[in-house]
Amino acid sequence: MTCDIGVVGLGVMGGNLALNMERHGFRVAGYDLDGAKAKAFAGGAAAGKNVEVVNSPEGLMAILRRPRRVLLMVPAGPAVDSAIAHVKEHLQAGDILIDGGNSFFLDTERRSKALAAEAYHFVGAGISGGEEGALWGPSIMAGGPPEAWEALAPILRAIAAKADDGDPCVAYMGPGGAGHYVKMVHNGIEYADMQLIAETYDILSRGLGLSAGELHGVFAEWNEGELKSYLIEIAAAVFAKIDPDTGRPLVDVILDEAQQKGTGKWTSQNALDVGAPVPTIAAAVESRFMTALWQERAVASRVLHGPSPTYGGQRQPLIDAARDALYACKITSYAQGFGLLRLASAEYGYGLKPGDIARIWRAGCIIRARFLGEIMAAYRRNPEVVSLLLDESFRAAIQQRHSAWRFVVQAAIGMGIPVAAMSASLAYYDAYRSKRLPANLTQAQRDYFGAHTYRRLDKPGVFHTEW
C-alpha cells in the first residue's frame, strides 16, 4: 500500500483529519508514539477505512509516496521539536513536514530555517475549527515554501470547509511562519469576539435581568441577521442547555473562570512588537486574567462597593442597542486584527493578502460569520485600504450605530458592569477618527525630563527646549 500522506499524532484532531482525508479519497498512513492510542484508532474510528496505522516512523516512511508528506498533529511547543527529531532521520531530501498545531510563528520560522538547511520542506499550517472542523472541514492557513504548498494543495483543498459559494477555505499565506501568524491573529480576534459577546450577555443578564431562556431567544434572533456567526449560534445553544443535576440553566452553574492556551496573549505581545494598536484583543486577554482571580474577586465583592447593576429604563431599547453596539465593536475589532496583519506582513515579508484571509475564514473556523463576506467585499473594492474603518460600507454601518454603541457603554458604566472590550473598541474608534490626540503633551514631557526632542506643526525639523 502506497499512501498519499502520513499523520503523526492520532489524538482527536489528528485522527479526525486522517478520517477527513480518507473520506475524500486519499490513502492515509497513521502513527503515534503512544502505541495504545494508535491501536485504539486502528481498531476504532479507522476500522474498515483506507487508513494504514503503523508502529514506527520507519514503517511510516516506507509506505509514503515521494515526496513524503507528513502531518504532525502534536501539542505546540517542545512536543513539535521532539516529533520532528523523532521522524527526521527517516526523511529524504525534498520531503515535507507539516505542523498543524497552534505553534508560535517564530518557532515555525526557526524550524523552517533549520529543516531547509537539511533540504527538507517545512509547512506551518494553522488549522481552525476544532474537532468537528477537523473531521468535516476546517479553515486552513498554510505557510512555507511555495513548492511544498503546491504538493499539499490538492489534499488541503479537498478536506477544507467550503463556503456558501463552494470555495474551499484554504489558501497559501506566505513563506516561513506566515500560516501560523495568520492563525495566531485569528485566535486573537476570536478572544475579542468572545469577550464582546460575554460583555453583552452580562449587560442583558445582570443589568436587565434576562433569564437564560430569554437570552436564548435574543441570541437566536440575532443569529438570523447581521450578527449571524458560529459564536452567536453556540451562545444561543448554551443558554438553552439545562443542567441535569440541578435543573437550572447550565450557564448559571459554570464557574466564571475563562482559561486560555496563549494564542491571544501572543497576538497582543506581537502587536506591541510591530507597533499595531489592538486594544480590544488586549482587553479580552486581560479580562481572562481577571477571571482567574475569582477567589480574590469573591472577597473584594464583599468590601468594594459601586452602583447597583440594575437598569431602570425599558428593556427592549437597550436590547436593540446592545445588538448594534456588538456589531460596531465587531467591525472595530476586526479592523484592529487586519491592521495588525498589514503591519506584520511588511515587518516579516509575508506578503499577506487580507481579502484571501477573509475569504478562508468564512467557513470552518471558530470566527466564521456572515460578516467575513463583507470584509472580503471591502478588500475587493479596495485591496489597499489601510483600515476597514475607512471602507465606505463599514463607515456607514458604524455611523448608523455609534449612538447606540455609546448608549450601551454609558449604561454599563453607570450600572458598574465592566465592559473592557466594548469600551476599548469605542476608544479605538474615537482615537482613530481624531485628527489631533494629546500626545503633544506627552512628547513635551519626554523632552522636559529626557531631552527626547519633538517636532512642530508649523515648521519642519527636530526641536529641544530648555524647560
The set of catalytic residues is 183, 190
3-state secondary structure string across 421-448: HHHHHHHHHHHHCCCCCCHHHHHHHHHH
Q: Report phi then psi at 318, rounded to 5.
A: -75, -35
Long-range contacts of 80-83 (CB under 8 A, 24+ apart): 80/107, 80/111, 81/111, 83/8, 83/9, 83/33
SS3 52: strand
- Residue found under cell 507539516: 98
Kindly write down the DSSP assignment for every residue of 182-211, as one continuous string.
HHHHHHHHHHHHHHHHHHHHHIIIIIT---
SS3 172: strand
Q: How many angstroms from the chain centroid is the CA of residue 37?
A: 29
User: From CA 47, how far away is CA 20, in angstroms rounded?
Assistant: 14
Residue 263: Cβ within 10 Å count: 22
**Listed residue (217, 213, 425, 234) closest to 324, CA to CA:** 425
User: From CA 99, how far away is CA 212, in angstroms rounded?
Assistant: 40
- Vertex 365, ends 41 and 37: CA angle to 5°? 15
Q: Are 252 and 172 in contact (CB under 8 A)?
A: no
User: From CA 392, how far away is CA 411, in angstroms rounded?
Assistant: 29
**Pure H helices in 142-262:** 146-159, 178-202, 212-222, 230-240
Q: Is the dihedral of CA 66, 72, 77, 83 positive or negative?
A: negative
